Amino acid sequence: MDILTSKQNGILVIEFNRPEKKNSITAAMYQMIADALKDAQSDVAVRVILFSGKPEIFTAGNDLEDFMNSSSHVELADRPVAQFMLQLSQATKPVIAAVAGAAIGIGTTMLLHCDLVYAADNAKFSMPFAKLGLCPEFASSMLLPQIVGYQRAAERLFFGESFSAHEAFEMGLVNKVLPPDELLTFAKAQATKLVSLPASSLRTIKSLMKSGQTDIIMAKIWEEGKHFGAMLLAPEAKEAFNAFFQKRKPDFTKFS
C-alpha cells in the first residue's frame, strides 16, 4: 500500500509508503488520505493524527505523470487532492507531522495546516511552483507569509529553492529539529502527551486559534486553484513539465 494507516492508543498514523517513487503522491493516495482524515473526524478512538514518511524522504510532492493525467480539464473541487485539502485544513483534532528528508511542493504546504511540525536534521523543504510555471497552492500564498513573514515567504515562493530544517525552525515553520533516528519516537511521544489531555480542551483551543480563518483559508484555496488550473494549461507550465520529463533545464525566456 502506498499509504499506510494504523490506529493505536488514540493516535492515527498516516504514512507515505512509496519510497521507490520518493513518496510522490498520486490521486489514489490523496483519496486514501482524505478518507482516513474524514473517518478520524468522527472516530472517538482517534484523538491525534500523525503524518510521517520514510527516514530518507517525506514526500517529493505530486507524482507529475499521474498529476498531468488526472488533472487535465478537471475542476479542482472534483479532484482527490481537493478532498485531502478540505479534510486536513478543517481537521478539528491535533495534527502532527514528522518530516525527514525532502518535503517538496505539497509536502511543505501541507505542513502549514498541521498544528505541530517536527523535523529531522536531514529534512529539506521547497515550494518550486514558479519553477514549474505555476502558483502556490493550499492557501500557502496566505499562510506562509503569516508564519514566516512576507519577505521570507517571497524568497521561498519566488525562487522555489530548498531550505534546511534549521532554517525552517528559525523561520517558525518547524517546532523542533532532531536526529533522524529520534524523530518518529519523539513525535509519537508528543502525540501520546496530547492523547492524555482532555480532547474537548484541545479541540476548543485549536478552534479558537483558527477562529475566523476557516472561510478565508478556503476562499484562498479556491482562488489559488483557479489560477493554478489556468496556469497548468499555459505554455510556461508545458515547457516546465516537458523539461522535467526530458531531464533538461526549462527555457522561459521566450515567454513574457
In which element (H, E) is residue 71 found?
Answer: helix 64-71
Longest alpha-carbon distance in the chain? 58
Q: Determine the pLDDT at residue 254.
A: 87
Helix (H, G, I), strand (E, B) or coil at 103: strand
Q: Determine the pLDDT at residue 93.
A: 98
The alpha helices in the chain, defined as continuous H runs, are 27-42, 64-71, 80-89, 106-109, 140-148, 150-159, 165-171, 180-195, 199-209, 214-232, 235-245
Class of domain 3-180: alpha beta
Q: Decide: 168 and 102 in contact? Cβ < 8 Å.
A: no
Q: Determine the pLDDT at residue 135.
A: 96
Q: Determine the pLDDT at residue 198.
A: 98
Q: Determine the pLDDT at residue 72.
A: 57
User: What's CA 172's distance to the chain center, in Å?
Assistant: 16
Give the separation between CA 144 and CA 164, rounded to whole angstroms: 16
Dihedral (Cα; 177, 183, 189, 193), 10-degree rounding: 40
pLDDT in tens, the chain (256 residues): 999 999 999 999 999 999 999 999 999 999 999 999 999 999 999 999 999 999 999 999 999 888 877 765 666 777 899 999 999 999 999 999 999 999 999 999 999 999 999 999 999 999 999 999 999 999 999 999 999 999 999 999 999 999 999 999 999 999 999 999 999 999 999 999 999 999 999 999 999 999 989 899 999 999 999 999 899 889 999 999 899 889 999 999 988 8
User: What's CA 68's distance to the chain center, in Å?
Assistant: 19
Residue 84 vs residues 80, 229, 240: alpha-carbon distances, Å: 6, 17, 25
Lookup result for grid cell 515550494: 127
Count of CB atoms within 10 A of residue 208's CB? 9
Q: Determine the pLDDT at residue 113.
A: 98
Query: Does the pTM of the predicted model rise above 0.85?
Result: yes
Per domain, the residue ranges of the chain are 3-180
Task: For the sheet with 48-52, list strands across it.
Answer: 3-8, 11-16, 48-52, 95-99, 116-120, 176-178
- 197 grid coordinates: 489531555
Q: Determine the pLDDT at residue 256.
A: 85
Q: Determine the pLDDT at residue 74.
A: 63
Q: Determine the pLDDT at residue 237.
A: 92
As to burial, measured by CB atoms within 10 angstroms (0-12 exposed, 13-18 middle, 19+ buried), residue 65 is: middle
Give the separation between CA 126 and CA 234, rounded to whole angstroms: 23
The alpha helices in 90-139, defined as continuous H runs, are 106-109
